[in-house]
Amino acid sequence: MPGFELFGDLERKEVNDVLDNGVLMRYGFDGMRNGHWKAKELEEELQNSFKTNHVQLVSSGTAAVSVALASAGVGAGDEVIMPTFTFVASFEAIMMLGAIPVLVDIDDTLTLDPKAVENAITDKTKAVMIVQMCGSMGNMNALQKICTKHNLLFVEDACQAIGGSYEGKPLGSIADLGCFSFDFVKTITCGEGGAVITNNPEYYKNADHYSDHGHDHVGSDRGAETHPFLGYNFRISELHAAVGLAQVKRLPEFIAIQKKNYTILREAITGIPGVTFRKVPEGGEESYAFLNFFLPDLEVARKTSKALKSNGVDVCWNYYDNNWHYIRKWDHLKSQKSLFPLSSEMKQALENLKNKSFEQSDHYIGRNISCLIKLSWTDAEVKERASNMASSITKALES
């Protein structure tokens, strides 16, 4: 991770196909295309990769979440349960629909705690969205049971977890709807792009129309298409899709490299007293995009983070003080700093969030170090990194 590290001839070929025929938009202009439909081809490849019936490409992972929720009827005043550890796009995508993000604690999987989810359900709850941060999953069976029991929509934000699986199923394909990001720092990239996947034909049809201004995509004349309901512009371009088409064909190659590098690093720090690892639920396999481990407390984690950086070990983070990925620093959300007026219901929810504590989440995030696994490392670089990680962690624990 990320796929741009290994750009090559295949990506260039697919992009040049688009430039040669001159049609950069995914819809229409049939006569000019010379048979090139990169977005359609990518959707077909993703159907096979994700073992799903339907794929709708969109402009970003953020768009994927909004489109997925809208396609299932989530909107104004509905509550969507989500984790405290994610990227800000998660609550942005919910709020854009007028829905209300309800943040709850994570557990040692670094994703939703099923008990916290159950306790947060109200008569306004419409959906539960797990965010599979840093390449792994939560207790999917427990969360699915809760959603079934309460008749709630179950959504997977698998934007950081492409290539992971649970009980033999690709992450993103387990819930009612799955969301992916193909931005520049994801395991496969389009530059910018995303996808909604589902086995529900109604959700797929809605996502297809909604992401293109409500176009019904019936017939061969785009200008004659009808608009059965309101939609917006979340289209991907053919250029972006072309890059993704090349990249998805290389996904098994990327995952194999990630797993190899991950394993070397993990083995180097396994057995160091005070180091434990993120829990991967039984039946789950990570995407190996990140190595996540816990230290005894926040102080040691901060010392370790500094030691890693000073020892040349980059792309490792303690998210406790992070501006973008953990709730502690989301002051713009808590203080309702919006360019447009928010509904009274949303204002009240965010006001309550301002003074709410998440001690369980602090316990796990404060002690966690998350290390990105790069695809471009040489064998020598991985071994050197493993040695430096082990020595840095050991020194921090002893100081």
pLDDT, one tens digit per residue, over 89-140 is: 999 999 999 999 999 999 999 999 999 999 999 999 999 999 999 999 999 9
Residue 298 CB-density burial (10 A; 0-12 exposed, 13-18 middle, 19+ buried): middle
Tokens 């990140």: give the residue. 290
Q: Are residues 51 and 127 in the same domain?
A: yes
Domain termination site, one of 217, 235, 250: 250
* Among candidate residues 250, 275, 296, the one where a domain is terminated: 250
CA distances for 115 relative to 172, 247, 290, angstroms: 22, 38, 26
| Phi, psi of 157, deg, nearest 5 | -90, 95
Per-residue pLDDT tens digits for 323-364: 999 999 999 999 999 999 999 999 999 999 999 999 999 999
Domain boundary among 225, 250, 275: 250
CATH code for position 235: 3.40.640.10
Answer yes or no: do 233 and 265 share one domain: no
As for how many domains the chain has, the answer is 2
Residue 64 φ/ψ region, left for φ over 0, alpha for ψ in the -120 to 50 degree band, beta for the rest: alpha
Contact criterion met (CB below 8 Å) for 154 and 72: no
Q: Are residues 200 and 139 located together in one domain of the fold?
A: yes
Residues 321 and 273 in one domain: yes
Residues 225 and 328 in one domain: no
Range of the domain at 246: 3-250
**Of the candidates 320, 291, 319, 318, which has an alpha carbon nearest to the alpha carbon of residue 307?**
318
Whether residue 264 sits in one domain with residue 148: no
Which token pair is 207?
A: 């996502």
pLDDT tens, N- to C-terminus, the chain (399 residues): 899 999 999 999 999 999 999 999 999 999 899 899 999 999 999 999 999 999 999 999 999 999 999 999 999 999 999 999 999 999 999 999 999 999 999 999 999 999 999 999 999 999 999 999 999 999 999 999 999 999 999 999 999 999 999 999 999 999 999 999 999 999 999 999 999 999 999 999 999 999 999 999 999 899 999 999 999 999 999 999 999 999 999 999 999 999 999 999 999 999 999 999 999 999 999 999 999 999 999 999 999 999 999 999 999 999 999 999 999 999 999 999 999 999 999 999 999 999 999 999 999 999 999 999 999 999 999 999 999 999 999 999 998
Query: According to the model, what pLDDT value does residue 105 have?
Result: 98
Do 100 and 191 fall within a single domain? yes
Can you give the pLDDT at residue 399? Answer: 85
Q: Say which residues have a Cβ less than 8 Å from residue 54's Cβ, sequence separation at least 6.
A: 47, 197, 198, 199, 200, 201, 203, 204
Same domain for 212 and 325: no
Coil, strand, or helix at residue 163?
coil
Identify whether the C-beta of residue 186 lies closer than 8 Å to the C-beta of residue 289: no
Q: Identify whether residues 206 and 324 lie together within a single domain.
A: no
376, 274: one domain: yes
Amino acid identity for residue 122 in this structure: T
Q: Is the bond leading into 2 cis (omega within 30 degrees of zero)?
A: yes
Q: Give the Cα separation of 257 and 102 in Å (integer).
A: 37
Instruction: Report the alpha-carbon distance of residue 208 to residue 196 in Å, rounded.
Output: 9
Return the amino acid letter for 62.
Answer: T
Task: Specify the CATH number for the domain of residue 337.
Answer: 3.90.1150.10
Copy the structure tokens of residue 315. Answer: 């792309």
Contact status, residue 197 vs residue 55, Cβ threshold 8 Å: yes
Rounded alpha-carbon distances, angstroms, from residue 157 to 216, 223, 316: 26, 34, 22
**Could you count the other beta carbons within 10 Å of the beta carbon of residue 301?**
22
Shared domain check, 256 and 246: no
Question: Are 100 and 51 in the same domain?
Answer: yes
373 Cβ contact partners less than 8 Å away, ≥ 6 residues apart: 1, 258, 261, 262, 265, 288, 289, 290, 291
41, containing H or E segment: helix 38-50
